[in-house]
Amino acid sequence: KAGVTQTPRYLIKTRGQQVTLSCSPISGHRSVSWYQQTPGQGLQFLFEYFSETQRNKGNFPGRFSGRQFSNSRSEMNVSTLELGDSALYLCASSPQGGRNNEQFFGPGTRLTVL
């Protein structure tokens, strides 16, 4: 079974621009979560989608949004980029989500905002 894939792997943008990141979960997985990883804050939860609905949300401003398609693929969008948005964005999938279940992570998209 193919793992979680994320595209692109690397991205360079300038302040004020917007960006869309893509995540393809493992086949059959219906839950997709997004995380922001930075050296200072560690891993911070952005949101989780399950069956095309946002099921959980972290404490990020409205500039961060996402969606999930009927095939479970998910996209994350960040508008009006700020320097502080530079980070590794990780996507994770699991069959049903849930508090006791393993999450399978993709390799991440490294976003640099100049």
Partner 1 sequence: GNSVTQMEGPVTLSEEAFLTINCTYTATGYPSLFWYVQYPGEGLQLLLKATKADDKGSNKGFEATYRKETTSFHLEKGSVQVSDSAVYFCALPTNRDDKIIFGKGTRLHILP
Q: Does 108 bind partner 1 (CB under 8 A)?
A: yes
**Which of residues 4, 78, 87, 113 is near partner 1 by CB under 8 A?**
4
**Which of residues 8, 61, 84, 98 is near partner 1 by CB under 8 A?**
98
Tell me which residue has tokens 């992570």: 105
Segments of 8-105 assigned E as strands: 10-13, 19-24, 31-38, 42-50, 53-57, 64-68, 74-78, 87-94, 104-105
User: By three-state DSSP, how is residue 3 classified?
Assistant: coil
Residues 73-92 within binding reach of partner 1 (CB under 8 A): 90, 92
Q: Which stretch binds partner 1 (CB under 8 A): 14-22, 67-75, 79-87, 96-104?
A: 96-104
CA–CA gap between residue 73 and residue 25 (Å, rounded): 6
- Sign of the Cα torsion 106, 98, 44, 47 reads positive
Q: Which is nearer to partner 1, 24 or 103 (CB)?
A: 103
* Residues forming the site for partner 1 (CB under 8 A): 4, 33, 35, 42-43, 45, 48, 55-56, 58, 90, 92, 97-100, 102-108
